[in-house]
Structure 1
Amino acid sequence: MNDAINGFPLDAPAHSSLLPAAAPRESTSRMIAEALRAAIVDGTLEPGAPLRQDAIARHFSVSAIPVREALRQLESEGWAKAAVNKGATVAPLSAQEAREIYEIRSALESLAIGLAIPNHTAATLSESAGLCRAAEREADPSLYVARNVAFHTSLYAPAARPQLEEMIGALHRRGERYLRLKFGLPLHKGESDKEHAAILDAVERQDIPTAQALVAAHLLGTGDLLFRFLTERAEAEAALAKQARPRGRRARTTTGSD
């Protein structure tokens, strides 16, 4: 595809039939948003990468209208950032945002698991156990994100609280690209898998207080980990940039004296 969006990872030719011939505009914009979100999660579209409407429209063989709607959706979810006269770009990773997402999740998901436990059955517990094992074995970052979401969702689904489920789902989507960072920290990914197993064990024993405490600690710990990681990375990048600037000035001075 046109490099205007930094190699967006859809390899089909520009005129291929990527969409049904009569796809409703809402479905089209949703599909485009999902494809862009997936590219952001897997790191192909990095923070700051431009999201040019014309290039995206050409790629999907659509008009600018569904692309604008898709970008507005991504902006509302925190995936994209729009600036006047500059267009949309992939939103930067934020240590503060990562921590806050997991703080809110800890409150909502501890509530959800407490409501769900009395309604779990042998079948729902078996499903959760299978999803827990799948997440533990998964080595692909993008697939791990999906496995992780599926496991957590299965724990809360028996609560039958659709509005609570919707709120948790929105936070999961907003935190997907932060969760992917755990694959750069394999030790912590292993710890997370063990915590999942402990939460599942408490659910199976119908131990509501323990399950709630474990879920809250698991999510708060992840938020703190990501906050520290992103803060330290930002500080390191700032230090490198500060070191590079004086070298650049000296180089220009030397060049000017020749």
Structure 2
Amino acid sequence: MRDSDTLSSDIFIGVERAPGESLGYFATRVLRDKIVEGTLRPGQRIFQEAIAEQLGLSRIPVRDALRQLESEGLVRLVPNSPARVAELDPAEFTEIYEMREHLEPLAVERSAPNLTDEQLDRIHRLSEQIENSWDDSERVLKLDRDFHLASMQAARMPRLLRLVEDFWNSSQHFRRAYRETVGESDIAVIRAEHFLLVDALDSRDGKQAAQIARNHIRRTRVRLGGRLEAMSEEQRTAGNARFDPGRR
């Protein structure tokens, strides 16, 4: 089931173009943020004219923004149809998470020895904020993203970090779906993994931190991958029931 296609202008309240920011980058940044934070939901249509009007832009920068977001896996473009926010796809999920499983541990391993005291302090603060926010799913999603990206920030591998951040953006709707399925036992495991990762980073132990990050991603891949496959099968079964020519 798709979310409503009605796009409220309220979602752009307070959005401002930064000094020197190009129109195309502004449109891309705003739409990316709204997709990542879940304001624009998977399957929701994105009308260029409506977005352009609400952001005070022409259609050209919005069109360019949608093309960029398609390359990032956040938007689907179909000729002669409105763009749509990318939906959950089990095959895409597996591809993204298997790449994350290999790339992020490398970034964490290279980052750990280089983290400054100030960077470690921020990682500790983010971990504590997550601990105090488990009853607020959206806040946890944002904090968790910031926490893991912070653990990699000192890798001194800018191309790798750009790629990792793109994967985090394009997999945010998967993570949101995962967060909606976790129970108390899952939260306990996540908390333990976060604690172990912080401890390894404090020790500047890159190999240990990398192994913890790898296990963390793998567990999510296995758990959510099974859930997505089950959801996909339920949708196929429901579709076959609706269109079964033998039914009267």
Instruction: Please tell me the TM-score bracket, short chain as reference.
Output: 0.7 to 0.9
Find the aligned partners of 1:43 and 1:56 in 2 and give their Cα distance: 16
Mark the CA change 1:27 to 1:191 in structure 2 (over 3 Å): closer, same or farther.
Answer: farther
Trace 1:115-126 onto structure 2 (pairs within 5 A): 115-126=110-121
Trace 1:85-124 onto structure 2 (pairs within 5 A): 85-124=80-119
Q: 1:105, 1:168 within 8 Å by CA — same for their partners in 2?
A: yes
- For residues 160-219 of structure 1, the C-alpha deviation after alignment (integer angstroms, 9 at most, x for no partner) is 222222121111111111111122123234422321111111222333332211111111
Find the aligned partners of 2:59 and 2:218 in 1 and give their Cα distance: 40
Q: 2:126, 2:143 within 8 Å by CA — same for their partners in 1?
A: yes
The structural deviation recorded for 1:50 is: 1.9
Q: 1:7, 1:44 within 8 Å by CA — same for their partners in 2?
A: no
Higher helix share: 1
The residue matched to 2:10 in structure 1 has which SS?
Answer: coil
Q: Counterpart in 2 of 1:59?
A: 54
Trace 1:200-219 onto structure 2 (pairs within 5 A): 200-219=198-217
The structural deviation recorded for 1:246 is: 4.5
Letter of the 1:215 counterpart: A
1:70 lines up with 2:60 in the alignment? no
Q: 2:42, 2:173 within 8 Å by CA — same for their partners in 1?
A: no
Q: Counterpart in 2 of 1:142?
A: 138
TM-score, normalized by length of structure 2?
A: 0.84
Percent of aligned positions that are identical: 30
Q: Counterpart in 2 of 1:7?
A: 6
1:186 lines up with 2:185 in the alignment? no
Letter of the 2:156 counterpart: A
Find the aligned partners of 1:58 and 1:30 in 2 and give their Cα distance: 16
- What is the count of residue pairs matched by the alignment? 242
Trace 1:174-253 onto structure 2 (pairs within 5 A): 174-187=170-183, 188-246=186-244, 250=248
- For residues 65-89 of structure 1, the C-alpha deviation after alignment (integer angstroms, 9 at most, x for no partner) is 1110111111111111111222322
RMSD (Å) for aligned C-alpha atoms = 2.8
The structural deviation recorded for 1:41 is: 3.7
Give the gaps of 5 or more residues in structure 1: 251-258
TM-score, normalized by length of structure 1?
A: 0.81
Q: 1:105, 1:171 within 8 Å by CA — same for their partners in 2?
A: yes
Mark the CA change 1:96 to 1:189 in structure 2 (over 3 Å): closer, same or farther.
Answer: farther
Q: 1:183, 1:189 within 8 Å by CA — same for their partners in 2?
A: no
Letter of the 1:7 counterpart: T
Find the aligned partners of 2:83 and 2:92 in 1 and give their Cα distance: 19
